A and B are shown apart, each in its own frame.
Chain A
Amino acid sequence: MDFYLGLLQIMGVHTLLGLSAYVVLQTGQITLAQAGFMAIGAYAAAMLTVLAGWPLVVALVAGALVAGLMACLVGFPALRVHGLMLVVATIAFTEIVRLFFFNFDYQIARGSLQVGPLGGEGFRQIRYFPENGWTTMHVAVFIWIVVALVMAALWWMDRSRAGVVLRAVGEDEIAAQSCGINLTAVKVSAMTAGGAIAGLAGGIYAHYTTHIEQTNFTILVATFAIAYPILGGLSSVFGTLAAVVFIQGFLVEGLRFLGDWRNLLFGALIVLVMNVRPSGLLDARTTAMLRRLLGRKEG
């Protein structure tokens, strides 16, 4: 049972991570900075509960805000570059953040223990959940409540004019500008929202694993973050969810007996989807069709 609950927790965090990239990808920006924002959120939230003794939810929100603020600051210079150059710039950002935490020590004495981040050793003893008597079940339910809230917010946004504007920028920047859309404002907002969601994912991740270190936030994690929405499609948040369930549930866990060969399958899957469904599983055409089938006329 605990195995499945643990899997649910992983899926929850990865769904948040995928959604954080979903927002940014909608504006046509390919970003590998999400692992960096996740790390910032993870360390910030964990330091707030462990060192400052804040309640969990407040610490998670604060971690998300810090990551979002960072994303906003990074967004201005980063979004001046396009396409491949943006990919390179965001890889550099994730690496800088990782190396920062590799060198970051801030420990204080808690009884006989020293707690806090300790460079390459990582940040151990993030024991908010066990100390407050949360079971694995409680944690899994809590994570999915957060996921549901974020999904609902993005689902709502997709139906509002704001969501339409994000996608218009992703489709054609020149046309969007000519329609009066301020590209910088839109892209930086998307980056900020994405950074905050990644920070939230990081904060949750830090607390359920109880131990984080810089190797948890590598480029590989950032690759997963953009793989989910790319595979799932950018027209619906449910595409990202489906991709996470498929990759984490089936490819990573279901095929565990294949060992490291699974990574090969992951690569093959991306190539396959890019060929068969270039705009992802749930693309605009499919969602429009589903909506017609459900008899709804939504914006």
Chain B
Amino acid sequence: MLELQNLSKHFGGVRAVDGLSLRIDPGQIFGLIGPNGSGKSTTVNLITGLLQATHGSIRLAGEEITRLPTHARLSTGIARTFQNIRLFGQLTVWQNLWVAENSKAQRQHTGFMPRWLGGERGARVRITRALEFSGLADKADELASNLAFGEQRRLELARAMAAEPKVLLLDEPAAGMNPEEIGALDDRIRHIRDSGITVLLIEHHMELIMAIADRIAVLNFGQKIAEGTPAEVQAHPAVREAYLGTAEH
């Protein structure tokens, strides 16, 4: 579904991502882990186009998207959430989702009809469903900045889903959540995968990623040091070294 080939991003002399190749199969939850500064967020920014790759290519369902501008990548089917939540705080919950209705099919009937005139019936149905899925149905007319932290995370996830993506990139979605909220997130991500969306999950929270990822790649200093199932990765010596350090230094 999503294929990175020899992807690199250099900032001057710093190789934030260095020759990274990944193949993410459709319908998987693919985990990307690594210590701080290992290039995880840079990888997400390369895939979404906020950064331009120095070398290498990115393909989505066989289609080359390496040079597409960010906004155009959404309509090819890539949506994301941010590590430090980026909602439109002065817009309502409903409006945040409305903005994101931007896939190719949706764009044909978006435009200048006010919500209360019955314009965009399709949007209304989709947004109502998304709000129910996220447990935000009673907050539709609340300003996004008034939501509690956990609700903001759920809204951001719903916003990413609003464009009906093929691949969903989640950049540390559990950051700042309590165990109960993480449990609910866990279910939500599985549910998203089961609806046929490929998930690339970047996470610090080991338990979450080990529990739900189908496959994991480990980054260190911008390079992939291991890839495999959660059990394989956990047993991999290079991973232990990257995370725990070794005695023989």
Contact = CB atoms under 8 A, between A and B. Distances in A.
Interface of A: 156-157, 159-162, 164-165, 167-168, 171-172, 174-183, 235, 279, 283-285, 288, 291-292, 296-299
Given A162-B111, A299-B114, A175 B86 contact: yes
Interface string B82-116: 10001111111011101111110000001111111
Contact of B110 (A161, A171, A177, A178): A161
Contacts of B71: 177, 180-183
Contacts of B89: 171
Contact of A297 (B79, B112, B119, B141): B141
B86 A156 contact: no
Given A177-B50, A298-B115, A288 B92 contact: yes
B41 to A, nearest CB: 13
Nearest to A182: B71
A179 B159 contact: yes
Nearest to A185: B71
Contacts of A172: 86-88
Nearest to A166: B99
Interface string B73-86: 01100011010001
B102 A160 contact: no
Given A162-B111, A284-B91, A174 B86 contact: yes
Given A161-B113, A165-B99, A183-B71, 12 more contacts: A156-B112, A159-B116, A161-B112, A168-B91, A178-B70, A179-B100, A179-B102, A180-B103, A180-B163, A285-B143, A288-B143, A298-B116
Majority secondary structure of chain A interface residues (helix, strand, loop or mixed): helix
B120 interface: yes
A274 B172 CA distance: 36
B48 interface: yes
Contacts of B119: 160
B102 A181 contact: yes
A179 B87 contact: no
Q: Which of B79, B95, B120 has the most CB of A within 10 A?
A: B95
A114 B210 CA distance: 85
B112 A299 contact: no
Contacts of A296: 116
Contacts of A299: 92, 94-95, 98, 114-116
Contacts of A284: 90-91, 143
Contacts of B141: 288, 291-292, 297
Contacts of B69: 177, 182
Contacts of B98: 161, 164, 299
A283 to B, nearest CB: 8
Top 6 closest pairs, chain A to chain B, by CB:
A299-B115, A180-B74, A180-B102, A159-B114, A175-B86, A284-B90
A254 to B, nearest CB: 32
5 contacts: A164-B99, A167-B88, A168-B96, A178-B86, A299-B92
Contacts of A178: 48, 50, 70, 74, 79-80, 82, 86
Contacts of A181: 71, 99, 102
Q: Which of A178, A183, A298 has the most CB of B within 10 A?
A: A178
Interface string B35-63: 00000000000001010000000000000
A297 B88 CA distance: 19
Contacts of A297: 116, 140-141
Given A176-B99, A177-B70, A285-B143, A164 B114 contact: no
Interface in B124-171: 140-141, 143, 159, 163
A12 to B, nearest CB: 25
B147 to A, nearest CB: 13
Q: Which of B50, B86, B120, B163 has the most CB of A within 10 A?
A: B86
Nearest to A162: B112
A176 B89 CA distance: 12
Contacts of B112: 156-157, 160-162
B50 A179 contact: no
Nearest to A156: B114
A180 B100 contact: yes
A96 B95 CA distance: 39
B14 to A, nearest CB: 21
A180 B75 CA distance: 7
Contacts of B91: 164, 167-168, 171, 284
Contacts of A161: 98-99, 101, 110-113, 120, 123
A164 B69 CA distance: 22
B11 to A, nearest CB: 18
Q: Which of A160, A235, A297 has the most CB of B within 10 A?
A: A160
A241 B69 CA distance: 38
A172 B103 CA distance: 20
Contact of B99 (A179, A182, A279): A179
Contacts of A177: 50, 69-71
A227 B205 CA distance: 48
